[in-house]
Amino acid sequence: MGMFGASFEDKVKGAVAQVQQQTPGIASLAAQIDGKTVTLTGTAVSLEAKTAAMQAFNALVQTDNTINMIRVLAPAPTAPKAVEAPPPQEVIHEVQRGETLSGIAKQYLGKASLYMKIFEANRDVLVNPDLIKPGQKLRIPKL
């Protein structure tokens, strides 16, 4: 490497330092030099920051090719994304003497007319929506 190679490297190093200072959201910026090709590495908070760093670098140094290998970091978690709430625990109702399916539907689902929903959810236990027995454990479906 003669004087020219060193000065190209010096230009690149100087540009990297300047871009690092002037570009918000860029961290650990570095450059690998291969002839007149420069590969930029480091991290950026956004694609905009990554692009801005490359443009700023190219404005300072004339290269044959600048390869932008700056890694865009996943955005810092601000508010937790809508984390899937765990499915509500299934409600089990033990039938008491004198209860009816429509009465249970009114109690849990708000409308007596929704009793068939409970019947459908308990076909393994119930044969007829009008025949429920004390002690039967019925799954109350979520609407």
Instruction: Write the CATH number for 25.
Output: 3.30.1340
Does 112 lie in the same domain as 65? no
Domain presence at residue 18: yes
Residue entry with tokens 């990297």: 16
- Which residue range forms the structural domain that includes residue 111? 91-140
Domain presence at residue 86: no
Domain presence at residue 49: yes
Cα–Cα separations (whole angstroms), residue 82 to 76, 86, 88, 90: 15, 12, 16, 22
Q: What's residue 4's pLDDT?
A: 53
Q: What's residue 30's pLDDT?
A: 96
pTM: 0.49
Instruction: Write the CATH number for 98.
Output: 3.10.350.10
Average of pLDDT values for 97-123? 95
Among residues 22, 67, 25, the alpha carbon closest in space to that of 48 is found at 25
pLDDT at 142 over 60: yes
Domain presence at residue 124: yes
